[in-house]
Amino acid sequence: MVWPNKCFDGAHVLVTGATSGIGEGIALAFAEAGARVTVTGATPGEVQTAQSNHAAFDVQQLDVRDDTQVKALIGSFERLDHVVNCAGVIRRSEEHQPEVFADVVDINLTGTMRVCAAARGLLKTSKGTIVNMASMLSFFGGGSVPAYSASKGGISQLTKSLAIAYAPDGIRVNAIAPGWIATPLTSALQSDEVRSKAILDRTPLNRWGTPEDVAGGAVFLSSPMSQFVTGTVLPIDGGYLVT
């Protein structure tokens, strides 16, 4: 992926939850575009794997539920130009238990807010950007994932609200809403012929998306090419929403 004018040369990008899957794809795209990239993982194992696979990344352990950790990490940066919030979990049917529901929302939604709030000062200085991770479940309900759905619906509204609040600081805030993306988290669905066919039959482009597909949207929304775009939630879904 080649971006014009080397618009990310010298920029510092933080991508949370980027040791695998969509976050990893986004981090790689920013690195290829010339940025210095810090990625985070929630566990020592995730951090070790990312360090082994991506020597060019600065890899840090971060629990976005811990406000002290969030502030300490971002406070260690001399500058910060772009933030992409990818840290998130899904717990399927367990989410009907109130304590699991609360934990999923704390990670996916409140964790995103913690990072945004902590990064605001540095992003004000750089006139930077934030890209949050929404979902198709920002638009649809999910019977087995009430916490994930609620958190992703919340990401949509949080993004719009922060776009208004942070605009006087020169910070643009947007979100991307991936459709059905081929990652380790969706491997069971991909291998289930019946469920995979149902997904592809509804997707006009008739294929699973890739992390690289999603990365293009994140990089675009962080670039000067979208300098008049804020408060939007961009579906990257192969047309799934329009059918």
CATH number at residue 231: 3.40.50.720
Report yes or no on 124 lying in a domain.
Answer: yes
Report yes or no on 186 lying in a domain.
Answer: no
Residue 3 has what pLDDT?
Answer: 54
Report yes or no on 203 lying in a domain.
Answer: no
Q: How many CB atoms lie within 10 A of CB 78?
A: 6
Question: pTM here?
Answer: 0.96
**Residue 148 annotated among the catalytic residues of the structure:** yes
Report yes or no on 214 lying in a domain.
Answer: yes
Which residue out of 148, 166, 180, 240 is catalytically annotated?
148
Report yes or no on 48 lying in a domain.
Answer: yes
Do 122 and 168 touch, CB atoms closer than 8 A? no
Residue 111 has what pLDDT?
Answer: 98
Report yes or no on 188 lying in a domain.
Answer: no
Divide the 243 residues of the chain into consecutive groups of 10 and give the mean pLDDT of each group: 71 97 96 95 96 95 98 98 97 96 98 98 98 97 96 98 99 98 89 95 97 96 96 98 95
Residue 15 has what pLDDT?
Answer: 98
Q: Per the structure, how many domains does the chain have? A: 1
Report yes or no on 55 lying in a domain.
Answer: yes
Report yes or no on 187 lying in a domain.
Answer: no
Q: Which domain holds residue 163?
A: 7-181+210-238
